Structure 1
Amino acid sequence: MSQFIDIGALNDIPPRGARLVRAPEGEIAVFRTATDAVFAVDEWLPGKAGPLSNGIQHGQCVTDPMYNWVFDLETGEAQGADEGSLRVWETRIENGRVLLTRDVLGELRASA
Structure 2
Amino acid sequence: MINYEWQQFINNSKERCGVVLKNGQVVELPNKHPEPERNFRIMAEDIEPYLEELSALWHTHCDGSYNLSMNDYQLFVSKPDLDQFIISDRGVALYRVDKGFVMNIERRLFDA
Regarding TM over 0.5, the answer is no
Q: TM-score, normalised by structure 2?
A: 0.34
Structure number having the greater strand percentage? 1
From the CA coordinates, give the structure whose radius of gyration is larger. Answer: 1
TM-score between the two structures when normalised by the length of structure 1? 0.34
- Write 1 or 2 for the structure with the bigger share of helix: 2
Q: With a CA cutoff of 8 Å and minimum separation of 6, indicate the structure with the bigger relative contact order.
A: 1
